[in-house]
Amino acid sequence: MKPNIVLTAAFPAVARDLLANDFEVVEHPTEQSRSEEEMITILADADGAITLLSDPLTRRVLSSNPNLAIVANFAVGYNNVDIEAAREIGIVVTNTPGVLTEATADLTMGLMLAVMRRIVEGDAEVRATGRCEWEPLKLLGSSLQAKRLGIIGMGRIGSAVAARSYVFGMEVVHHSRGRGMPLEELLATSDVVSLHVPLTAATRHIIDRDALAMMKKGSYLINTSRGPLVDEAALCDALEAGHLRGAGLDVYEDEPAVNPRLLERKDVVIVPHIGSATEEARNGMARIAATEIVRFFRKQPPLHAVT
């Protein structure tokens, strides 16, 4: 009998193609905010699964099916998985690092440019008026040149952002696992702060009210990592008070919901968690996730194990 593999969303076709010969594949429609009960139901007959970053893979879910042997999470982040429980139960968990580094770094630069050069405001104005009027004082933003970029988390993506930022003439400093510049100094002296750490108990609200107060007046915050790194209510207060000049956000504290206070602000550029949304990156992620499943059932070691 072929092992059952559950795809909890419509992933790029390459995943199904790689699994087609050796497995019974069941694909579910892409859905946000699944409950534990829904997860237990869709994983009931699974020997393995490719899962979404929003699927709650809690201890209860992971222990609900004794046949579930591998979860290939379709993301580099795996904060949706109870890793300790997976380890204890003996379920292999894998992720998809590397292939989305450049795409996420590109989007980080896109958000930086969009918010600092007020690109979205300009787009809205031209669409609303149907005109392009040149004015000496219109939509004045901030240059990237000679600004200090403070990168929190100098891993693959943080380093790729640094490489791009040098080309824009920025000075780059970083804080990473206790290395580099002390966090307080980075916050107090950077013109732009960009977040590239994973979400863990230690990094949740790393940008809280105190951290925001420490940030330089008139600086910008960019987040393409995970929403709960930032206390969004405190961020809205800092923007409203004019302490921060703007923010570029790809991720939100309560995804899929977005704080309505953010939606009202012209100084915030908001996109829907699209850091890895290039054909190249998403195909690469699908290939990695499916390959992990194939290797597991051939008794080969995982390439990207997080357990």
Q: Given the rule CB under 6 A, which residues bind ligand DGY? A: 53, 75-77, 100, 275-276
- Distance, CA of 151 to CA of 193 (rounded, Å): 6
Pick 53 or 268: Cβ nearer ligand DGY: 53
Quote the least distance from Cβ 106 to ligand DGY, whole Å: 13
Pick 219 or 225: Cβ nearer ligand DGY: 225
Pick 77 or 180: Cβ nearer ligand DGY: 77
Among 28, 36, 255, 265, the active-site one is: 255
Pick 229 or 244: Cβ nearer ligand DGY: 229
Is 255 considered catalytic here? Answer: yes
Pick 47 or 232: Cβ nearer ligand DGY: 232
Among 34, 245, 273, 282, the active-site one is: 273
Quote the least distance from Cβ 206 to ligand DGY, whole Å: 16
- Distance, CA of 97 to CA of 81 (rounded, Å): 16
Among 175, 226, 245, 282, the active-site one is: 226
Q: Which sequence positions are flagged as catalytic?
A: 226, 255, 273
